[in-house]
């Protein structure tokens, strides 16, 4: 049985949503995206 992985567009979209939510709600955690 093959394992299905999300596509690059799905991963990118999820990242962008999470990133901007953190920017708006938890600015002190933004550094975690870069470490």
5-35 pLDDT per residue, tens: 999 999 999 999 999 998 999 989 888 888 7
pLDDT at 4 over 70: yes
Q: Quick check: is 3 in a domain?
A: no
The range of the structural domain enclosing residue 25 comes to: 8-35
Q: Quick check: is 30 in a domain?
A: yes
How far is 26 from 9, CA to CA, in rounded Å?
25
Q: Please give the tally of structural domains in the chain.
A: 1
Q: Quick check: is 15 in a domain?
A: yes
Residue whose structure tokens are 């299905």: 4
Torsion sign across C-alpha atoms 14, 15, 20, 26: positive
Q: Quick check: is 27 in a domain?
A: yes
How far is 2 from 21, CA to CA, in rounded Å?
33
Structure confidence at residue 1 (pLDDT): 62
Characterize 6-34 residue by residue with b for buried, 16 or more Cβ atoms within 10 angstroms of its Cβ, and e for exposed.
Answer: eeeeeeeeeeeeeeeeeeeeeeeeeeeee
């Amino acid at each position: 049985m093959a394992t299905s992985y999300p596509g690059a567009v799905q991963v990118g979209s999820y990242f962008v949503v999470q990133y901007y939510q953190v920017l708006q709600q938890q600015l002190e955690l933004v550094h975690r995206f870069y470490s």
